[in-house]
Amino acid sequence: MAGEGVPDDGVREQGVLFERTPANTNLSLDVARRLPPRLRFGPSSWTYPGWKGLVYHRDYTGERDFRSRCLEELGRFPWFRIIGIDHTFYSPARASTLDRYAKQLPADFLWLSKVWERVTTPRFGPHPRYGALAGQDNPNFLDSQLFYEAVLPAYDRPLIRDRTGPFLLQFQSLGRADAEWLGSFLTRLRSFLLALPKAFRYAVEVRTPELIQPRYFEILNEAGATHCFNHWDRMPPLIDQMRVAAQAGGLEADFYVARLLTPRGMGYAEAVAQFSPFDKLVQEQASMRDDVVRLAMRALKRDADAFVLVNNRIEGNSPTTIDAIGRMIVDGLEGSKAR
C-alpha cells in the first residue's frame, strides 16, 4: 500500500516463502470463465507466498526466482484479468520492466499503474526515501509536463500501449484540509487532467472524505476521467461514494475503477497484522461485496468497463474475495436470465 513507506510486495511481510498452504482452495474457477469480459478483477500486487496452492503451484527455488517468474503463473489464474502495479508510485516504470511483464502475461491481460508520487504528493513526508525533500512542499505537484516526460514514455509504445489499463492517480489523505485548500486542489486537479493525453484512461483516488463532493465528480466528467471507488480506513462506504457521484449527474467515463484496500476503521499496519500471511479469508466485508456487485451491474448496464483491484488486506486473501464477488455477479446475471 503506497504512502506507508514500504512497497506493496508482500514478501517481507510473509517472512518465509511458502511456509503455509491456503486453508480454503475451493474456488469457483469454472464460474470465472462466465464473468462478462467487460468486468476485470485482479489483485493489487502479486508476490505473495501465502497464495501457494491457490494461485501458485510451481516449485520455486527461492525468493528471487519466485519474484521474477510468478507473474506468468498468475496470468493463467481464471479470476485475474488485470493486475495492479504499485511500485510505480515510488519511481516511474522502466520500459524493460513493462516489457518483461508483457512477456509473462496473456495478450489480453491489462495492468493498472499508479502514477509516480512526485506528481501526486503535495508535500513530502518525513520518510528517508525523500532525502533532502522530506518535509518540503513538492514543486512538481500535479505537473503535467513531468507526467509526459517521466511517466508516460514507458507506456506509450507498441505492444505496451494495448496492455495499459487506467493510470491511477493516488492522493493520500490530506487530514483536516480547510475549504480553501480543497478548492485549490480541485482547481489544480482540473487543469492537470485536462492537459493529459486522451489516448489513455485515468482514475483519481482521493482519500480525503471532504473531496467526495459534486464539484469533484463534475471535474472528472469534464476531463473524461473517473473516480476510483476505494474501500479504505477513513473513506465513506462505496455506496455513499456512488450516491454523491449520482448527485453530480453520474460518471460519464466509459469505465469504472474500484480498489478494495482495507476495512473501514482499520489502518494499514493493523490489517497486515490481522491478515498475514494472506493465505485465507479472515474477515468478510459483506456490505462492501454488495456495493462492488452494484458497481459492476451499473457498468454492465452502461456497457462500460469495470476494473476492480482487491488487496489482501481487505479480507485476508484477495483471490478468495474476488471469487466470492465474482460468483455473486454471475449468479445474479444468470438468475435474472432464468426468470
5 within domain boundaries: no
The grid coordinates of residue 139 equal 514543486
DSSP state of 254: S
57 within domain boundaries: yes
Helix 286-301 to helix 318-338 angle, to the nearest 10 degrees? Answer: 50
The pLDDT score that the predictor gives to residue 174 is 79
Work out whether the CA dihedral 114, 124, 172, 224 comes out positive or negative: negative
Report the Cα–Cα distance between both ends of the chain, in Å, rounded.
42
Is 155 in contact with 104 (CB distance < 8 Å)?
no
Give Cβ neighbours of residue 194 (< 8 Å, ≥ 6 apart): 222, 223
**SS3 (DSSP) at 182:** helix
The pLDDT-based confidence of 5 (bands split at 50, 70, 90) is very low
Phi/psi at 117 (nearest 5 deg)? -65, -20
CATH number at residue 144: 3.20.20.410
86 within domain boundaries: yes
> pLDDT, tens digit, for every residue of 162-180?
999 999 999 998 776 678 8
Is 82 in contact with 42 (CB distance < 8 Å)?
yes
The tally of CA atoms less than 13 A away on the side-chain side of residue 224 is 10
Is pLDDT of 30 > 70? yes
Return d(Cα 177, Cα 339) in angstroms, integer: 50
Return d(Cα 239, Cα 236) in angstroms, integer: 8
Domain that holds residue 243: 11-338
> pLDDT, tens digit, for every residue of 277-294?
999 999 999 999 999 999
The grid coordinates of residue 157 equal 509504445
Return d(Cα 124, Cα 59) in angstroms, integer: 41
The pLDDT score that the predictor gives to residue 1 is 34
The grid coordinates of residue 213 equal 463532493
The grid coordinates of residue 256 equal 469504472
> pLDDT, tens digit, for every residue of 66-112?
999 999 999 999 999 999 999 999 999 999 999 999 999 999 999 99
> pLDDT, tens digit, for every residue of 175-225?
766 788 899 999 999 999 999 999 999 999 999 999 999 999 999 999 999
The grid coordinates of residue 70 equal 510468478
| Structural domain count of the chain | 1
> pLDDT, tens digit, for every residue of 229-286?
999 999 999 999 999 999 999 999 999 999 999 999 999 999 999 999 999 999 999 9
Q: Tell me the sheet residues that pair with 143.
A: none
194 within domain boundaries: yes
The pLDDT score that the predictor gives to residue 26 is 77
The pLDDT score that the predictor gives to residue 122 is 92
Return d(Cα 253, Cα 74) in angstroms, integer: 29
The pLDDT score that the predictor gives to residue 131 is 87
188 within domain boundaries: yes
331 within domain boundaries: yes
Is pLDDT of 9 > 50? no
Across 321-328, average pLDDT: 97
1 within domain boundaries: no
Is 185 in contact with 218 (CB distance < 8 Å)?
no
Across 195-221, b (16+ Cβ under 10 Å) vs e yields ebeeeebbbbbbbbeebbeeebbebbb
The pLDDT score that the predictor gives to residue 10 is 34
Is pLDDT of 17 > 60? no
The pLDDT-based confidence of 338 (bands split at 50, 70, 90) is low
The pLDDT score that the predictor gives to residue 2 is 34
Is pLDDT of 24 > 90? no
How would DSSP label each residue in 107-169?
TT-EEEEEPPHHHH-SB--S-GGGGGGTTSB-TTTT-HHHIIIIIGGGTSSTTTGGGEEEEEE
271 within domain boundaries: yes
The pLDDT score that the predictor gives to residue 176 is 65
The helix (run of H) or strand (run of E) holding residue 208 is none
Pairing of strands 305-310, 39-43: parallel
